[in-house]
Structure 1
Amino acid sequence: MPAITVDDLTVLPRLSAPGLGDQPRPVWQVTTAPQGYEGEGFPVRRAFAGIDIKHLDPFIMMDQMGEVEYAPGEPKGTPWHPHRGFETVTYMIDGVMDHQDNHGGGGTITDGDTQWMTAGRGIMHIEAPPEWLVQQGGLFHGIQLWVNLPRDSKTNDPRYQDIRSGEVALLTTPDAGALVRVIAGRVGGHDGPGSTYTPMTLVHATLEPGARLELPWNVDHNALVYVLNGSGTVGATDATALRTGQTAVLGAGDFVTIAADERQESRSPRLDVVVVGGQPIREPIAWAGPFVMNTKAEVLAAYEDFQKGRFGLPVA
């Protein structure tokens, strides 16, 4: 799992230990992601399935794409499709993905890069592996997070943020046992490069076997921990086992506690987690397919606009 790594973690800024009076976040719920297929047939885990939307706000869903080793001719993507009313955050861990829209945006993301797309009032979009990858096959692994937009931002113009792996803030623990990648938000006084409409934090952390991470977390944000691979626990006094494909929903507090098991499987030698949280928008949600709006009428209007070509046409 390359993402972005550092050979010597001791050179990185250290996170401070929790202060006197800081409270650990308790574990409210643990869910296991069901597996399925998306787009033209690439495997996904629905990370937030079974979690009440009120605990996810401002997030809608998150998919773990892969991890899969494709044979030649097997790599798959998605056909042209519309979006309105939210943002898609695609973080590539392994492999390569091309993306393109009908507004002239697009590019290629690979190990540790993030493509942050604000759909706003409407966009047509396609994601697919490059032709050379289709021909030779290879490893594919990433996540896609859907972030809701506040009502007054749902009709904004579409835009992209192309976040390269080298821009991500890199931190470690006092004993240098974990690599913390801050993609968006502020952690321990360090800011990630992602620009957000709703205050939120997105982190990918890798813990060595037996390592412990006490991650400072904005008290105004909710917190969810999803395991990409490996096994460990989440929570302090209520330490709860967590393994690949499981999500923990946490309660209020000042920091998130994650620990890696001393023994890991050979195919997953470390514990990798995504930690995400944000300030709830607390607005009505009407969600159908690729449209996330505030009312059913707005969703129906989005479908009508798409069917009548008001989103524009795919690029030939």
Structure 2
Amino acid sequence: MKKIVVLCMSVLLIVLGGCSQSSKSTVSGKSKIEYPTKPIEVIVPFAPGGSTDIGARIIEKYLPKYLPKAQIVIVNKPGGSGTIAISEVFNAKPDGYKLGLSTHRAIATQPLYGKTKYSYDSFQPIAKVFGNQQIMVVKGDAPWKTFEEWVDYMKKNPGKFTFGVAGGIGSGSHLPMAELDMIAGLKAKPVPFEGTPPAITGILGGHVQGAVLQPSDAKALIDSGELRALFNAGSTPVPYFPEVPLLKDKGYDIVYDSNTSLIAPKNVPQEIVTMLQKAVKKTMEDPEVIKEFEKANLQVQYDTAEDVQDELSKENAKTKVVLKELKLIK
């Protein structure tokens, strides 16, 4: 009998000791996970030199300041309108060592075509980091100096205007023009390119007459007169090009912003997610980071994981309607 009592007391002491240790660990707030212990890959679904890539490299430079021992490696994987890169993030081991930095459209729109294994809610958002508008640009010596002159030409010359599409048909750089085409009765011809820099080269080389781009990608060439902006498909004016007219101010209810967020595969341990979220928030609030983004003509727009998922959900629903109207999906 005494042996049984002693045994029970021993078990009780072990349990209480474990609870005490657990409590101490919780109270102390010490991390149970050592992270990171190896390089963190950040997959960018577009070619080097574009705005997403530039923003990624600024974050790569400063994030280790707030995530000690972190070594960030940017990996560019263009193609498939972003689906190649996003699919790699989707299929990655959920350990926090493979993340994606992508426009919302590559996550929210492409699944609507039924060719991806992922959906708009298949990821763990970390945070939104920056945003941008989208503008139509043409060569600086093009005959159209205003939006009205360009629309008039399009109506009188159906099918003659060609425009570069960075990311392919149905991508974010195609939809604003495709919807305008439909509403205004225009017949422009989209020409796919793998990324923004090749699309710009296509305009300058005379292979296409225009392209819908993020203004940061075209600023230097617009400032030099080599390119001209005809309209802004975003929800707000471009800070450094306020004179470029919004489509909604021209009577067309068309709004396409280009927001970029850091995402992870689903089921990454919450402790790692929290570490990343805190580090990213501090990074995007860093005055030096803000200065570098401004220098790159990018607009810091930090938002929480919850806000990112809400934006992805709304963009998916809105784009589904548009793509059906355009007969790009059933």
TM-score range, shorter-chain basis?
A: under 0.3
Calculate the TM-score normalised by the size of structure 1. Answer: 0.25
Q: Which has the larger radius of gyration?
A: 2
Which structure features the higher share of helix residues? Answer: 2
Which structure features the higher share of strand residues? Answer: 1
Calculate the TM-score normalised by the size of structure 2. Answer: 0.24
Q: Using CA pairs below 8 Å that are at least 6 residues apart, which structure has the higher relative contact order? A: 2
